Amino acid sequence: MNALRHLWAALRPRGLLLNLLPDTTHRAVEVSVGGAILRLGHLDDTRGIQEFHVMLAAQQAALDARLFVLERETRFMFVDHFDTVESWLTYVAEHEQGVSIQALLLARARELLPPGTTGEVRISGEFYAARLWRP
């Protein structure tokens, strides 16, 4: 809620805020190679899912305190594309420290998309978006 109070202070009246959050699903891992799309499993993002609930509760508290008005909310699918398994792992290490990748899933991805292979790793999951405005 503290971050939303800072955003409220930074916005002028009728100013808009777009709140984007990963939703409460473990994202799917797929490999696309040779024209085929193979689903390998899911990432373990338990910590991110717990954080989603905390952030959504903070948003509701800000709405209850009349700091913002909810204009619209939606959910949508978002897909990350990585040319190699290693570029995906680098991204996870730099940006998603709370995500756990099962060893078997990683081994299968490396088997299907070894270095020099044309294809991609795709990570898909739902996101939540809320358009809020300051009264």
Note the pLDDT of residue 72.
97
Is residue 127 within 8 Å of 76, Cβ to Cβ? Answer: yes
Cα→Cα distances 109→46, 80, 114, Å: 21, 15, 8
pLDDT above 80 (res 1): no
Query: In total, how many domains does the chain have?
Result: 1
Task: Render pLDDT for 3-33 as a digit per residue (tens, 0 to 9).
Answer: 899 999 999 999 999 999 988 889 999 999 9
pLDDT above 90 (res 2): no
- Looking at residue 65, its amino acid is A
Distance between CA atoms of 120 and 109, rounded to whole angstroms?
10
Task: Please state the pTM of the whole predicted model.
Answer: 0.82
Residue 38's pLDDT band, with cuts at 50, 70 and 90, is very high
Q: Which domain holds residue 48?
A: 2-133
What mean pLDDT is predicted for residues 105-132? 96
Sign of CA dihedral 4, 6, 7, 11: positive
